[in-house]
Structure 1
C-alpha cells in the first residue's frame, strides 16, 4: 500500500447503477480502515489499513485516506464512520483526534474531493448496523482509543448518545474503559471496570442484547453475559452500506 501513487481524487464521477459498490471507511484514533462492500453489505475487496497520523488534523487524515482509496477498485458511493458526534455530515466532537474537527463539514469535503455521494455517521453506530439483530433494545460499545457507543431500538438508531463521556464513578466511562484507562489501571482493573460498566448499562438501558467491538476486546478475560456478543473490527466497515437506507440516521 505504501508504494501506491494514485489517489481517489483522480477518479471520474460515478455512473448510476442498480448495484452500487460502497466504499466503507472507518476513521479511528490509531488506524484508518477501508473496504468495498456490495449492496448486501458483503465485502468485495480486501480490508486496507494504515496508521492514523500522529497529529490527526483533518488535512493530514484526508491525505492518508487518499492513499487508502488509491489502492482500491472503483466505487459508487462512500460511507464513513467517525469517532464523534455527527449531524448532517458535520463532525461536532472528536475527543481522540484533534480540535480542528469541531464543526468540520466532512461529508461535503469528501464529496467535493472524491466526486462521489458521501454519508457520515458515528463509528459505533456504523459498527452496530453491521452487527445488530434489529430486535428490541440493542447497545453497542466499542473499546479502542476511546469508548464508543450506539443505542438501537428495533433497528433504529438513537443518535448522539456518546455514553463514553457521561459521568461514571469518579470520571467518565471513557476514562476507565478507553486506552488511557487501560494503560493507567492495567488489564486486571480494566476488566473489573468493564464488568461494572456492563452491569450499569444493563440497569440504565435495559438492553436486550449487548455488542462489544473495538481492538481492545481481545483483552477481555471474563465470561460475558449470555445476551452479549463480541463483534469483529470488520463490522465497522460492513455496516457502512446501511447508511444508504432511507432515513436510517435519524437526524
Structure 2
C-alpha cells in the first residue's frame, strides 16, 4: 500500500503524520496544532493545510485521510462535537479537497480509531464482528465486520435504563459523579451487556484516554465477549484515516 497522510481533527487539537499503511508505523513526526477557538470550518481547514505544509506537503499520489468528530454521510458532516455548529450539514469533504487540491477519504473519528485497531492493534487478525468504544467526554463507537467498516454507528446514544448511555457510562460521567472504579464498572456492565445482547460481537475493544487504566475496571466486568484495551490511543485516528485512504477505490 505504501504511505498515506492521516489527519485527526479533535475539539482541542488537530494532529497529522505520514503513515506506512503496511505496518501502521509513523514515518514522519506527528505534528499537532491547537484547534482554532470556536472550531469554525474555514479556520480548521486552514489549520489542516498548515499541518500538511509542516509535513513537507503532499507528494504525488499520496492518499489523504481525515477523521472528524461528526457523523459523516456522503462527505457531509451531519453533527458537530466540540466544534462549531456551522459544520452541521456542511459539504466538509469537498471543502478539504478544494483546500488540499486532491481527493481525500473523510471519516468519523471513532470509525477511524476502530479501523486502526483492526488493522494494526488490539483486533488485528480477529474475524467476525469487532465493536470498539471510546470512553471519554461521550462514548464513540465503531463496528467492523471481517475488516469492513460499518460507519456512523453512534452506539453511545443507545438508551439504557431510560437514559442516553453516554450520560451515565462515559468517562466524563464517572468524573462528574465522582464514581469509584467499582461504581463506574457497574454502569459499564449494563452498557456492554446491552451491546452484547444486541450485536453478539466477537470482540470488544475499549479506547479513549482512560483505557490506559484498563486494569482498574475491565476485570470488574462479566461478559461472554472478550474485552480488551485499545493499543493505539493517541495515534488511532491518524492511523485509521490513513489506512482507509489507502484502500483501493
TM-score (norm 2): 0.81
Which of 13, 16, 20 does residue 34 from structure 1 map onto?
16
Instruction: Determine the structure 2 residue equivalent to 1:122.
Output: 108
The 1:219/1:54 distance shift into structure 2, 3 A limit, reads farther
Size of the aligned set, in residue pairs, is: 229
SS of 2:90's equivalent in the other structure is: coil
Matched, 1:58 2:41: yes
Contact 1:145 1:178 in 2 (8 A): yes
Cα offset for 1:45? 1.0
The 1:178/1:30 distance shift into structure 2, 3 A limit, reads farther
What is the Cα-based RMSD across aligned positions, in Å? 2.3
Report matched runs for 1:71-86 at 5 Å. 71-75=54-58, 76-86=62-72
SS of 1:84's equivalent in the other structure is: coil
Which of 168, 171, 196 does residue 190 from structure 2 map onto?
196
Cα offset for 1:151? 1.0
Aligned equivalents of 1:123, 1:138: Cα separation in 2: 16
Aligned equivalents of 1:178, 1:227: Cα separation in 2: 20
Instruction: Determine the structure 1 residue equivalent to 2:202.
Output: 208
Cα deviation per residue 1:189-236 (whole Å; 9 max; x = unaligned)?
Answer: 444322332222122211111111122323542234682221222122
SS of 2:117's equivalent in the other structure is: coil
TM-score (norm 1): 0.81
The 1:106/1:235 distance shift into structure 2, 3 A limit, reads same
SS of 1:49's equivalent in the other structure is: strand
Instruction: Report runs of 4+ in structure 1 exceeding 3 Å deviation.
Output: 177-180, 189-192, 223-226
